[in-house]
Amino acid sequence: MGDTSVQHNAVPGIIGFIFGMFFQYLDLRFTTYYPNPMQYALLLAIVASPLIAKLTGIPASKDHMFGVGVVALPLAILWFLGFSYFVFAIPGILWIWMSVSWPQYHLPPFRIGVWHGMGIAFTAFVGVLMIA
């Protein structure tokens, strides 16, 4: 594990944490059918993926954005069902596994985007808990 491991863990982790805290602080829920803070954080992660790519030192591309989107969109849809271990524990376990095993490989932008998406999905929930 080298600098890239720290970059690919710290940057999405901090950004996810900030997004989660920000949207929980705003508490934009009007009814149970509108998006909750986790959904806002996950959708904003897709929009912010070029910034995340730039901060981690990989070229910002559509592949990276698609990688983040492959994780963020299904999880944002699953958050409509409410809290479950599938939307919290599974991204956390997968992010830890990716963080341990993937730094030894030279990964394409799509897989790095999936890695970043898992990190944002897990840490955004932690950020929401810090404010709640």
Contact 45, 68 (CB under 8 A): yes
pLDDT of res. 1: 41
The answer, as to whether pTM is greater than 0.85, is yes
Q: Looking at residue 62, what is its pLDDT?
A: 92
43 DSSP assignment: H
Give Cβ neighbours of residue 45 (< 8 Å, ≥ 6 apart).
Answer: 15, 16, 19, 52, 68, 72, 116, 117, 120, 121, 124
* CA-atom Rg of the chain in angstroms: 14
User: Which is nearest to 85 in space by CA: 37, 94, 50?
Assistant: 94
Question: Domain residues of the chain, as ranges?
Answer: 3-131
Tell me the mean pLDDT per 10 residues along the chain, length 132.
72 94 78 75 93 90 93 88 76 90 89 93 92 79
Alpha helices in the chain (DSSP H): 3-26, 37-47, 49-56, 62-78, 85-101, 109-131
